[in-house]
Structure 1
Amino acid sequence: MDQRPPISRRNLILGTAAAFGVPAVLAACGGSEQPSPGAAATGGLGTVTLGSNASDEVPKKSLATVVGNFTQAGVRINTVDHNTFQENINRYLRGTPDDVFTWFAGYRMQFFAEQGLATDISDVWQEIGGDYTQAFKDASTGTDGKQYFIPFTYYPWAVFYRKSVWEEKGYEPPRTLDELTALAKRMRGDDLVPIAFADKDGWPAMGTFDIINMRTNGYDFHISLMAGKESWTDPRVKQVFDTWRGLLEYHQPASLGRTWQEAAQSLAQKKSGMYLLGMFVAQQFPEEDLDDLDFFTFPEINPAHGTDSIDAPIDGYMVSAKAKNVDGAKALVKHLAQASSQNVATELDPGTLAASSKADTSGYSALQKRGAELVSQASHIAQFLDRDTRPDFASTVMIPSLQSFIDKPGEVDSLLASIEQQKANIFR
């Protein structure tokens, strides 16, 4: 299956959203440092520190369990709120970072490698490379041809719904934008919020922009736009926002004050009819309700592009350049690369899929099997807006711009002119 993310050959400048980032400050912002279950028996490699953004209950428990099976060294996990971790990562890595840290494939991985903030783990890849497809290796490779990243799990974005609600109401997955709009109108008439939506944290709306752009203008244009090679005042971009504006009336209101977890709860509680999000939405469902969760890929907008593209981000681990225990860190990421470790993770976290090609998928839930099938059938896989473009552009331009659009959707022309002007200053 084609999972190769777009690889940039240019340097990236990460704009930070906070004035701090060293571990002590990260902890003060919501982090918690705790040993893994096996940390007392440190083995022959001492103790490894792990900076983690897995702050939600399900992924936090999953990581602790996987790391608890690591016996070559003790591990201290420094868990930080996901958004805080991401916003402070640049100075964190330039300060006194943990030995290993959670991160993302694509541009974001390459940026740190190019800045000399990550350790080359090509020697680890010589041992574990046979467990991954070439696409996953490409996603882990810096612009210098060396490997800096261990893929752990990935997840597709799609439109999720509860089967029981749809069966009761007689809803069918829409195949076109017109059918989606008609379905949303019908749901509103049935006293449901048609589309659950939240953007308090800034990033969820990026997924909506991504899919409408890829459905309208195709994958190649989307990736070129993310690379700063297209104008944001192009009529094709305006069409994306015009289409989105037509759907906003069916979105859950007051979204800028709502977290994705809260929006997911409205779906779980059968108050909303559908929700465009990553498969990690499953984390917000009790185990007994997981079999009731299903999805469809966002419907066709432009027949020329059909439904051939999706977002399916890859999450994983890197070793910091300032790692104090390099041997222990490499041993830990090798452990995380094992199919057995990823099997544990995907069993505990129903919203993820294993990156290793040797992982046992026989125990996948029906939802996970459907997710893997969706990814395998897609012709183009994007990594997500804030991973496919310059980090400073994503954080300082796109987050406030998309939130501004959600707040005032009628002011598209001035908004796009502002984005284009800021893009020109950043993409030099």
Structure 2
Amino acid sequence: MSRRNLLRGAAAGTGAVALPSLLAACSSGPGGDSKTIRMGSNSSDPVPKKAFADAFAAYEKQSKAGRKIKVNTVDHNTFQENINRYLQGKPDDVFMWFAGYRMQFFAKKGLLLDISDLWKTYQGFSPALKDQSTGEDGKQYFTPYYYYPWAVFHRKSLFDQHGYTAPKTLDEYIALAKQMQKDKLIPIAFCDKDGWPAMGTFDYINMRTNGYEFHKSLMAGKEAWTDKRVKDVFDTWRSLLPYCQPGANGRTWQEAATSLQQRKTGMAVFGMPHPGAQFPKAEQTDIDFFPFPEINPEHGQDAVEAPIDGFLLAKNSKTLKNKKTLESAKDLLAYLATPKAEDTYLAGDPNNIAVNSGASTSTYSSLQKKAVELVSGAKQISQFLDRDTRPDFASTVMIPAIQSFINNPKDVDGLVNGIERQKKTIFATEG
């Protein structure tokens, strides 16, 4: 199925060793409290953490069976880096994760529970959203909750102050960066201490240069990283580095977003929640974005990164062996699939977009409405580098490779040769 209409339904209504102490809540065992649902959460940042707490509280309040949710929140990066061992060990009943390839990878390994029965009752999800929730075996494993686009974010007032206009091409982007330097600004906030933020820049340069189909094929291990098309991506990226904050490998995304808020930097390639989480409430309306600029006219600005987050059931959860606990967990997923559940969450976190076409858009900010327009108008939707490829390839190869490139952007040949060698080894295995 084409991803062109991935979020049309939403627009119409509007992705190491896990330490048990970190990634596994205390199990009550198969015979334990069947009304307590254990939730593995990667939403460790204050805004989404509070919004999820509100949504879970709303579920508990409406539960006639008196069901409760016990949330096990783990730092986002720790959760993501350890997800494989977590799911193979002693996972929670329900856990937060990503749609598409990252879900399919674990479904294929037999680490997720089939929820196709729930999908027969779900309403408000487009066929393409269902496709993103479906494993290679044709069964559904994922309940989508929200999405958010990646773009180039900035402050409206800063652009107005200096008379900047949003660039549409790479040449205009570089010209704007040069002007920002003249105005004593660091043009591009840049960070990669967490290992994944710079992946967004790679993805956009790749899709703008070579197109979405090449991106998809490269992420699937079907293209050579030594291909000239990949080298062109890194060469273009190298030309942008003089306009980026130095020392990116030592900077968190929170610090980079704060520099944007403090007017020390002019723009940043981010997902919508990132500046939203660092800007005070009174300054939220000053956040704006423009699509990553065109590089190759053949591909224009067709593709948009718009990751989808949601919920899954862990097959290795000991408590889900209890049929009543499984019933409780499925009841929670059924609730989270409703417009009401999404409305409750978004009331506390306006940095995302509901996926259910029945969710209310009456409280959407101008930024949210612009995000819906961006994604619904995209010809292709990507999920992000570490979600569009194998998790082991993303974590063990691409994180250190991109960080190495940031430190030494001159040796592109050595970089891509190293990636290609490791890619061949990893993709030759079943995972």
Could you tell me the TM-score, scaled by structure 2's length? Answer: 0.91
1:342-421 correspondence runs (5 A): 342-421=342-421
Q: What's the counterpart of residue 62 of structure 1?
A: 51
Contact 2:23 2:40 in 1 (8 A): no
Structure 1: which amino acid aligns with 2:347? E
Q: What's the counterpart of residue 50 of structure 1?
A: 39
Contact 1:283 1:350 in 2 (8 A): no
Of 266, 272, 279, 1:279 maps to: 272
Post-superposition CA distance 1:205-235 (Å, at most 9, x none): 1100000000001111111111111111111
Q: Does 2:165 align with 1:172?
A: yes
Post-superposition CA distance 1:315-368 (Å, at most 9, x none): 000011134221111011111111111112222112100011111112100100
Structure 2: which amino acid aligns with 1:339? P
Q: Does 2:73 align with 1:79?
A: yes
Which SS does the other structure have where 1:249 is aligned? helix
d(CA) in 2 for partners of 1:206 and 1:3? Answer: 24
**CA offset at residue 119 of structure 1?**
0.9
Cα RMSD after superposing both structures: 1.6
Which SS does the other structure have where 1:200 is aligned? coil
Q: What's the counterpart of residue 129 of structure 2?
A: 136
d(CA) in 2 for partners of 1:45 and 1:354? Answer: 30
Contact 2:143 2:337 in 1 (8 A): yes
Structure 1: which amino acid aligns with 2:182? G
d(CA) in 1 for partners of 2:110 and 2:23? Answer: 22
**CA offset at residue 272 of structure 1?**
0.7
Q: What's the counterpart of residue 306 of structure 2?
A: 312
For residues 85 and 254 of structure 1, do their structure 2 counterparts lie closer, same or farther at Cα, with a shift above 3 Å needed? same
d(CA) in 2 for partners of 1:3 and 1:404? Answer: 36
Structure 1: which amino acid aligns with 2:116? S
Structure 2: which amino acid aligns with 1:299? P
Of 23, 26, 32, 2:23 maps to: 26
Which SS does the other structure have where 1:322 is aligned? coil
Q: Does 2:139 align with 1:150?
A: no
Contact 2:144 2:355 in 1 (8 A): yes
d(CA) in 1 for partners of 2:399 and 2:88? Answer: 24
d(CA) in 2 for partners of 1:91 and 1:74? Answer: 26
For residues 94 and 249 of structure 1, do their structure 2 counterparts lie closer, same or farther at Cα, with a shift above 3 Å needed? same
Q: What's the counterpart of residue 256 of structure 1?
A: 249
Q: What's the counterpart of residue 332 of structure 1?
A: 332
**CA offset at residue 3 of structure 1?**
4.9
Matched residue count: 401
The structure with higher relative contact order (CA 8 Å, sep 6+) is 2
Post-superposition CA distance 1:68-98 (Å, at most 9, x none): 0113311100000001111111221222211
Contact 1:352 1:368 in 2 (8 A): yes
Post-superposition CA distance 1:258-286 (Å, at most 9, x none): 10011000001111100111001211111
Contact 1:261 1:284 in 2 (8 A): yes
Which SS does the other structure have where 1:360 is aligned? coil
Which SS does the other structure have where 1:301 is aligned? coil
Contact 2:55 2:341 in 1 (8 A): yes
Structure 2: which amino acid aligns with 1:361? T
Structure 1: which amino acid aligns with 2:42? N
d(CA) in 1 for partners of 2:291 and 2:219? Answer: 22
- 4+ runs deviating over 6 angstroms: none
Contact 2:294 2:301 in 1 (8 A): yes
Q: What's the counterpart of residue 182 of structure 1?
A: 175
Structure 1: which amino acid aligns with 2:119? W
d(CA) in 1 for partners of 2:350 and 2:153? Answer: 14
**CA offset at residue 177 of structure 1?**
0.5
Of 102, 108, 117, 2:96 maps to: 102
